[in-house]
Structures are given as structure tokens and as C-alpha cells.
Amino acid sequence: MDLFTAIFTGTIIAATPLIFAALGELVVEKSGVLNLGIEGMMLVGAAVGVWVSYVGLPLPLAILCAAVAGALASLVFGVLALTFLTNQYAAGLALAIFGTGVSAYIGKGFGSTPIDALKPLVIPFLTDIPVLGPLLFNYDPLVYLSFILFGLISWFLYKTKAGLIVRTIGESPDAAHAIGYPVIKIRYLVVLFGGAMAGLGGAYLSIAYTPLWVENMTAGKGWISLALVVFAAWRPARVLFGAWLFGGMTILQLQGQALGLALPSEVLSSLPYIATIVVLVIISRNRQFLALNFPTSLAKPFRPAR
């Protein structure tokens, strides 16, 4: 494997868990709900994924269970924030902490035990193409799934009526309610979807990336996804770009360290954060663009008027 291939594929893989979690959160925020608990949901997904495969069930089922577990975890937030109308920031933070604890509890029996990893998908002919094959067609199925989901989510949000309704609810839940849409119900569905996506992101880490469960293994990726959504100005394509940028800078700074670049490792380690923030802030300078994409009723509790 030459250096370029290593950096390119490393970037795509490092970005995948962020893409899952951030795209899920993007849809949630588009509906006007702010769920800060991504880290917790990812951890629950990661732990459940390993657990299911540890007891001997096939990996696709483990991935599915991880998504369901992420969705169930998000329900904690949903009930607090949507039914009881608690402060969304507080409920989200509570979920982040709760998820960390619950995942540690779930993972008690099989911590640090390696499991069979999700293998890269070998596509006949395509994987064998020189140069392009190893670059584009040598990933595990979840990487392709993240691209498919990106396409589906972009299409759903901007090309379908249901997507328009979700966005409307994010702008003005009162208006959507007045014309007869069940705002709370739809927000519940969206929150569950966000949870499932975070669960998938977690499962990617624990099943495909480093195939074992260790407590707190997301190491802050949930928070990074959260930041990506904001810096990407709530546009799916920018989330994708931001995740690649972050993943790419992470890989590059490691390559730089290993090559003996004349910069202290502390500075290099902070590069991905600095670069991602700077670039995304620059491309989001257009205030009108931000105002157009920001969900106006974000994090505001909604109580249907009777």
C-alpha cells in the first residue's frame, strides 16, 4: 500500500463514524430539536454491537441491534425533551452522561475482548482495478452505507414532501401544527432516526474500526459530530466535507509525526480541530446562507396550543 492510498483510505474510514452521527444529528436539528447526547448514543450502539456479535450472532444483526439500541437511548431524550418539555440542552447532556454509564455497564462482561471485524467488501472486477480499486472499492459495507445514507438524507430533506414538513417543523412548529401536522410525533420519529444513526456510528467504531469494546471508546467523536453539524451550516454535503477534512487532518498529522515533522506533537494533534473550524467558518461566512439554513426554532420546546 503506497502512502497516498494509505492517507486516502484512512481519511474515508476515519470520517465514517462522524458522517453517520453528524448526518443523524443534522436531520434532528432540522426538525428544531437539539440532541446533545450523541456521544452517549454512540457508546450504547458500540457496546450493544459488540455484545450481539460476542454472543455469536452474525455481524449484520449486530449492526442492526446497535442502531436499535441507539434509537432506544435517544428515546430517553425524546421523552424528557418532547413529552415533558424539559430544557433540550440539559436533557441532551443527561443522555450523554447516561449513555456513557449504561454502555460501561452493558460492556462489563466482554471489555477488551477482540471480536471478528467487519471485512472489506470485495466487489468483483471493481476492487481489482489498478490504482482506483484500492482507493475506492476496498471498504467494508458500512462505509458504502454511509454514502447511500448521505444521498438518501439529502434527497429526503430537499426533494420530498416529508422532508419539507420536517424542515417546516424546524422553522415554525406552530405553523405546522396549525395546518394539522402532528409536530411532537414527527419530532419523535426524527429523534429516533438520529439515535439510530448515532448507534450506527458507534457500531462502526466497535465492529469495523477497532473490533472490540472498551469503555468510552468514542473518545469525543460524538461531540465532534455535533460541532460538524453547526460548522457545516446544516447542509449535508458540508457535513460530509467537514468529516473528510477532520479525518484527513487526523491522518495527516499522524503521518507528519511519524515522518519527524519539526512541530511538537501537541501542536500537530490539535491541527484537525483548528483546520476544520477555520475552513468551515470561512465557507460559512455568508450570513444570508446561514440564516437560510439555520432551523429557527432549534432547541425551543414546543407545546401544542389547544
Partner 1 sequence: MIKSTRRDFLKYSAAAGAALGTAGLSNLALADEVLKVGAVYVSPISEIGWTKQHSLGVDAIKAAMGNKVEVTTIDSIFKPQDAERVFREMASNGNKLIFGTSFSHGTPMQKVAPRFPKVAFEHCSGIRHMKNLGTFEAKYFEGTYVAGVAAGHMSKSAKIGFIGGFPIPDIVGPANALLLGAQSVNPDMTCSVIFLNSWFDPGKEKEAANTLISQGCDIICSMTDTATGVQVAGEKGAWSIGYASDMAKFGNGKHLTAFTLDWSSVYVSAAKAVAAGTWKTSERWQGLADGVVTMSPLNSALPADAVAQVTKAQKDIVAGTLHPFAGEIKDQAGKVRAAAGATLSTGDIRGINWFVNGVVGKLG
Which spans of this chain sit near partner 1 (rule: CB under 8 A)? 1-3, 6-7, 10, 14, 17, 104, 111-114, 117, 205, 209-212, 214-219, 221, 250-251, 254-255, 257-267, 269
DSSP state, residue 79: I
Question: Judged by CB, which is closer to partner 1: 46, or 91?
Answer: 46
CA distance 230 to 107: 31
Question: Under DSSP, is residue 117 helix (H, G, I), strand (E, B) or coil?
Answer: coil
Burial 75-103 (b: 16+ CB within 10 A, else e): ebbbebbbeeeeebeebbbbbbebbbebb
- Closest contact distance (angstroms) between CB of 190 and partner 1 is 27
- Closest contact distance (angstroms) between CB of 67 and partner 1 is 19
Sort residue 106 into left (φ over 0), alpha (ψ -120 to 50) or beta. alpha
Other C-beta atoms closer than 10 Å to the C-beta of 55 total 10
Which residue, among 220, 222, 240, 250, has the nearest Cα to 280 in the 3D structure? 240
- Closest contact distance (angstroms) between CB of 257 and partner 1 is 5
CA distance 115 to 231: 35
Question: Judged by CB, which is closer to partner 1: 187, or 221?
Answer: 221
CA distance 58 to 45: 16
Question: Judged by CB, which is closer to partner 1: 20, or 234?
Answer: 20
31 to 86, 94, 102, 193, 297: CA distances (angstroms) = 17, 21, 27, 12, 8
Question: Judged by CB, which is closer to partner 1: 58, or 114?
Answer: 114
- CB contact at 8 A, 243 and 228: yes
C-alpha cell at 130: 489498478
- Closest contact distance (angstroms) between CB of 5 and partner 1 is 8
- Closest contact distance (angstroms) between CB of 64 and partner 1 is 22
Give kind and range of the element (H or E) at residue 153: helix 141-159
Which residue, among 23, 88, 33, 30, has the nearest Cα to 292 in the 3D structure? 30
- Closest contact distance (angstroms) between CB of 265 and partner 1 is 4
Question: Judged by CB, which is closer to partner 1: 145, or 254?
Answer: 254
- Closest contact distance (angstroms) between CB of 29 and partner 1 is 24
- Closest contact distance (angstroms) between CB of 270 and partner 1 is 9
Question: Judged by CB, which is closer to partner 1: 28, or 252?
Answer: 252
Question: Judged by CB, which is closer to partner 1: 55, or 175?
Answer: 55
Question: Judged by CB, which is closer to partner 1: 110, or 144?
Answer: 110
C-alpha cell at 129: 482495478
